[in-house]
Amino acid sequence: MTQIRRESSALRPLPRLDALPDEVIQAILQQLDALTLITISTVSRHFQAVANEQLIWKDLLLHDFRFWDDKHELSKKVGDPSFHDWKDLYAVRHTANVATRRAVQYMIDEPVGRLEKAQGALEYGYGIKDVLLELNKDASLTDCVLAQRYWSQMVLACLNRSVALDQWTRIRYRTDIANPTETALACLDMFVLGPTAEGDINDTFRRLDEMVDAVRTGTPELDDQTPRQKAIAIAEFLRAKKWVGIDEDRDYYSIENQFLGLALRSPHRNSLPLISCVIYSYVCRAFGLRAQPCSYPMHVHAVVQPPLPSSPTDPQLDLDNRPLPPDHSTDSFNPDKEQPSDLTHLYIDPFNSATPSTLSRMQSQLQFTAPNATQTQRTTYLLPASHRSLLIRSAHNIIRSVQSTPFDAAHRQQSSDTHNNVDISIYDAAYAALFALVMFPSSAQGLASSLSDLRQHYAHHYIEDLRNYTNHILPLTTGLGAFGGDRGVTDPLVKLIRDEDNTPKKAKRRSELRASGPTTNGEAEAEESGPDVRFRVGTVFRHRRQGYVAVVYGWDGKCEMEERWILGNGVDRLPKGRGQPFYNAL
Amino acid sequence: MVGRDVMSSRCGRMDAMLTRTTHSVDDRSTRYVAQENIVPLRPDEFSAEDAEKTFPAEIGKWFRRYDGQTARFVSNVRDEYPED
């Protein structure tokens, strides 16, 4: 498409072009890009009228912009024939792009005030993802490839997280969200996406729906089957395709298997029981069943139930499409009183098998897996779990994975999985889990502890999350003592981070250091007595004894680490000890 | 031993991830190395491809690009280190 546009924009205006019928001119203009279209509209009134044709702008808009913020309500506008402001909308998107490009360029060039600029760009919403991905991709064409990649990715990561936080906030306060479990888990992926167009919440649902289509095509007889038959057939299909479960050679707690979106888009589609159950339940629901993971201890199962009757006066059917006996205690319209029953509750562990477990078997196993649970708890384990409890469980799984990631892998900072071709930072994964646990706390104590961890992550690794933090976390902390930020009161941590960003760094000059020297009497000898910082920022070096390659990004005239670090690392045993220059290296 | 990563204990990973024991601002895969342990690489020892492969994206925080001629990264922290 771009190719065609480029060629046609090079066309010289043909004589009598404006003599062509409007439809033909319009068809020609449709091949142009926005800039050329605007240029041509200045040629004549006639062209202006045709070039302002809203449908041209609509096509252009949908072609040029892939990502849309919810605030634009794009799908509503697309379906609304009376909407005529496509050109204006294009202008809105274009303005946001220009502002975002400027913000990233500012962050590359200016050391002071970067946070502020980033927050400004983020205000435009999810739409700027298009331009951020472009900046990241085109970085290699510039003379600041590393900086452009870094700063555009930073804003992008922040933007992705803001989408997740917005969704979680919606789920917290509203009960009318469709597919809350899948949405809540897809939000976790937004923290570990990286600079890719794939894997966001919409993409995750698109892939789930593709799976549903595949099941429909692969098992055409499904619609005529009983709920029990459907549940088994779907599990068999997904297992045969290896779309649920895990390959035998894969590490169970490997972090890649913890994310719904990753499980769906990685070629091997490995997933933990919880994720497998979420996928399976979603597909079951698409075929009219009620299905949801249940919080069975140790190993999440999916609980499948027959659909509710279309009206309360119709009889509730069981898993085999027979009416329930009149004395059956299940009160499907009153979930609070719901009791699991063999007639209406089928337990499937799609991670391990397509063969359902009976209620009685599930109950008897609870005696071993949860011997101390109360009767109420045991009942809860066997009923559909809330999206909230599944998100919490998922977050705990992620934290456990992070903790069990081998140190070597963490050391390389990436938990790199060449097998699945994905790279996730364990920090990003942990950050996702902590945010989830703060947004959906299981107890006041748990909240205080997760919040404290989250603040540490924010302060040390994610200061760019200024807006995310103040918008989503501060309001939750009201009245929480030490971390409590009452509305309107500035959190001292936020203030510190803001101030640091707005304060120029103190310049360090090797020449001054050299001249100053350790002697304080200020005599002539001071001239050459200071530390001789020999290597400059940017120097690539090999460590003399440990052999690794690193790059210098900063230095001190002498070792400025705390005493504990100096003693612990035996600095004084070095021939030149702690008094020599020390370098920050990456 | 100098230059070992500051977060080297395996137990208490969350704590290790969170606690910053260095005065430096960035501590993920960073080290603090004595001058006597630094052996600069020559351009023929470190190609542009090596530069691309060796370092994580974080490197863009301090540098604009890699200059293969001098085997050095071009600083983007001139404000803090004006003479470097």
pLDDT digits (tens, 9 = 90+) for A248-290: 777 777 888 899 999 998 877 788 899 999 999 999 999 999 9
For residue B9, the chain A residue with the least C-alpha distance is: A407
Interface with chain B: mutation pick from A114, A141, A540, A571, highest number of B CBs within 10 Å: A540
Q: What is the mean pLDDT of chain A?
A: 86
Chain-centroid distance of CA A30 in Å reads 35
CA A435 to CA A155: how far, in whole Å? Answer: 18
For the segment A509-533, the average pLDDT, to the nearest whole number, is 66
Q: Is residue A331 pLDDT above 70, yes or no?
A: no
Interface with chain A: mutation pick from B76, B77, B78, B79, highest number of A CBs within 10 Å: B76
DSSP A321: S
Contact at CB, A149 and B57, closer than 8 angstroms: yes
For residue B7, the chain A residue with the least C-alpha distance is: A411
Contact at CB, B59 and A456, closer than 8 angstroms: no
For the segment A40-47, the average pLDDT, to the nearest whole number, is 81
A575: nearest CB among B29, B36, B71: B36
Contact at CB, A457 and B37, closer than 8 angstroms: no
For the segment A188-209, the average pLDDT, to the nearest whole number, is 95
Give the rounded percent of residues in chain A with a pLDDT score beyond 70.
88
**pTM reported for the whole predicted model:** 0.86
CA A138 to CA A338: how far, in whole Å? Answer: 56
CA B57 to CA A150: how far, in whole Å? Answer: 6
- Tens-place pLDDT, residues B12-31: 344 444 333 333 334 457 88
Beta carbons of B75 and B84 less than 8 angstroms apart = yes
Contact at CB, A535 and B40, closer than 8 angstroms: yes
Interface with chain A: mutation pick from B9, B11, B13, B15, highest number of A CBs within 10 Å: B13
Q: Is residue A11 pLDDT above 70, yes or no?
A: no
The H or E element spanning position B40 is strand B38-40
Tokens of A358: 């009976």
Show residues of chain A in contact with B39, CB under 8 Å.
541-544
pLDDT confidence tier of residue A213, bands split at 50, 70 and 90: very high
pLDDT confidence tier of residue A434, bands split at 50, 70 and 90: very high
Give the pLDDT score at A15: 62
Show residues of chain A in contact with B59, CB under 8 Å.
146, 150, 551, 586
The H or E element spanning position A222 is none
CA A304 to CA B4: how far, in whole Å? Answer: 53
Contact at CB, B39 and A543, closer than 8 angstroms: yes
DSSP A316: P
Give the pLDDT score at B4: 34
For the segment B57-71, the average pLDDT, to the nearest whole number, is 91
For the segment A154-166, the average pLDDT, to the nearest whole number, is 96
Query: How far A402 CA sits from the closest chain B CA (Å)?
Result: 8
Q: Is residue B3 pLDDT above 60, yes or no?
A: no
H helices of A329-470, in order, are 359-369, 375-381, 387-404, 407-411, 426-439, 444-461, 466-468
Interface with chain A: mutation pick from B23, B31, B84, highest number of A CBs within 10 Å: B84
Give the pLDDT score at B19: 35
B18: nearest CB among A453, A506, A508: A453
Give the pLDDT score at A14: 55
Query: How far B68 CA sits from the closest chain A CA (Å)?
Result: 11
If one compares B47 and A524, the residue with the highest pLDDT of the two is: B47
- List, in sequence order, every residue forming a beta bridge with A543; answer none if it has no partner: B38
For residue B81, the chain A residue with the least C-alpha distance is: A508
Query: How far A345 CA sits from the closest chain B CA (Å)?
Result: 40
Contact at CB, B62 and A545, closer than 8 angstroms: no
pLDDT confidence tier of residue A465, bands split at 50, 70 and 90: very high
Radius of gyration of chain B (CA): 15
B28: nearest CB among A413, A506, A560: A413
Give the pLDDT score at A259: 94
ipTM of the complex: 0.81
Query: How far A234 CA sits from the closest chain B CA (Å)?
Result: 39
- How many helices (H) and strands (E) chain A has is answered by 25, 8
- Tens-place pLDDT, residues A342-353: 899 999 999 999
Q: Is residue A104 pLDDT above 90, yes or no?
A: yes
Report the range of poorest mean pLDDT among A27-41, A257-271, A291-305, A474-488: A474-488
Nearest-CA neighbor of A282 among A341, A213, A223? A213
B6: nearest CB among A151, A560, A565: A565
Give the pLDDT score at A526: 44
CA A504 to CA A336: how far, in whole Å? Answer: 59
Give the pLDDT score at A25: 82
Nearest-CA neighbor of A271 among A291, A285, A282, A255? A255
Beta carbons of A180 and A171 less than 8 angstroms apart = yes
A56 φ, ψ (degrees, to nearest 5): -60, -45
Query: How far A463 CA sits from the closest chain B CA (Å)?
Result: 11
* DSSP codes joined into one string, A482-527: GG---TTSPPHHHHHHHHHHHSPPPP--HHHHHHH-S--S--GGGG
pLDDT confidence tier of residue A419, bands split at 50, 70 and 90: very low
Contact at CB, B81 and A456, closer than 8 angstroms: no
pLDDT confidence tier of residue A421, bands split at 50, 70 and 90: very low
A583: nearest CB among B14, B38, B41: B38
If one compares A526 and A241, the residue with the highest pLDDT of the two is: A241
Give the pLDDT score at A489: 57
Q: Is residue A8 pLDDT above 70, yes or no?
A: no
Q: Is residue A72 pLDDT above 60, yes or no?
A: yes
Question: Which of A146-155, B3-12, B52-61 is most confident?
Answer: A146-155
Give the pLDDT score at A168: 95
Interface with chain A: mutation pick from B4, B23, B35, highest number of A CBs within 10 Å: B35
Report the range of poorest mean pLDDT among A62-66, A454-458, A464-468, B48-52: B48-52
H helices of A42-79, in order, are 45-51, 54-64, 74-78
